[in-house]
Structure 1
Amino acid sequence: MADPLSQILAHQQQALAAMTAEGLLDEQFQQLLALQDESNPDFVSEVAELYFDDALPKIQRVGQLLSEAAPDFGELDAVVHQFKGSSASLGAGGMAKLCIRMRELCQQRDVAGCQALVMQMQEQFMRLKQQLSVFLSLEAQRKQLAGGG
């Protein structure tokens, strides 16, 4: 039977592989993991927390704008552009792609297309948050075991 630390590492790799296969995360997330070291052991969880704190209001604002009789496509595009940048920085490649598509639909002033896409964004956000939370929980357990705690 494998030791607890090896089991946690294996679960982390499985979770990461699943999120990557599903298109939730891309290679940028791997680069963030590589930046985490002893001098900044909570780097990835801090970046993820900032992303989730920032993302939810953006998704809500997109939904608000699209519920208006005459959506402000300029503001909508600006909010989605910011969200695309933060998603790409985290390595949330699937979300960044949805943002790119949303910006294309903004250019076309396609309200129905944007409304359908914001639903996909909300679903993807919830899946990403749920699965990344599992990964980060495993990371916290790994650090505790590695630190002898």
Structure 2
Amino acid sequence: MLGFGADLLWADMNRLLAFLFHQGVLDEQFLQLQQLQDHTSPNFFIGSSSSIGAKRVTSVCIAFRAASEQDNRAGCLRALEMLEHEYCYLKNKLHELFQIEQQRALAAGVRYPMQHQ
């Protein structure tokens, strides 16, 4: 049974995920990958997948490719600017999400293995 603190963190994580889905930042691919994570591989997302369901980043990449194929320099520059913005936003939100998950796991008594850098 999860402790009270873990329950609150779980609710925080679910609210953040719902927000990211509503904003179109993530898609169903993220949930599918999240389901593959279990207690034997708690750090599954670290280097395990090139696609995490980042819907808005994918859309911007498609726009960049289209502009590139049309030799549209202004479109490429606009898409690169948007890509930087979307990437930074996604990175920050995923960092927030993983921090909540780590706190929730610690509150529930689950320990992640230490990473050697």
Q: TM-score when scaled to structure 2?
A: 0.85
Q: Which residue of 2 aligns with 1:128?
A: 90
Point out 4+ residue stretches in structure 1 off by more than 6 angstroms.
none
Shift of 1:145: 1.4
CA drift of 1:143 comes to: 1.3
CA deviations over 1:20-50 (Å, ceiling 9, x no partner): 1111111000011100001111213x14xx7
Which amino acid is the alignment partner of residue 123 of structure 1? H
Note the alpha carbon deviations across 1:82-121, whole angstroms, 9 max, x for none.
xxxx3xx111111111111111111100000110111111
The one of 72, 75, 78 aligned to 1:110: 72
The number of aligned residues is 109
The match for 2:114 is none
Select 1:99's aligned residue among 61, 64, 76.
61
Structure with the higher helix share, 1 or 2: 1
| Pairing 1:3-22 to 2, within 5 Å after superposition | 3-22=4-23
Mind listing any 5+ residue stretches in structure 1 that lack a counterpart?
A: 52-85
RMSD between aligned alpha carbons?
1.8
Distance 1:37 1:93 in 2: 24
Q: Does 1:30 align with 2:8?
A: no
Aligned to 1:65: none
TM-score by length of 1: 0.68
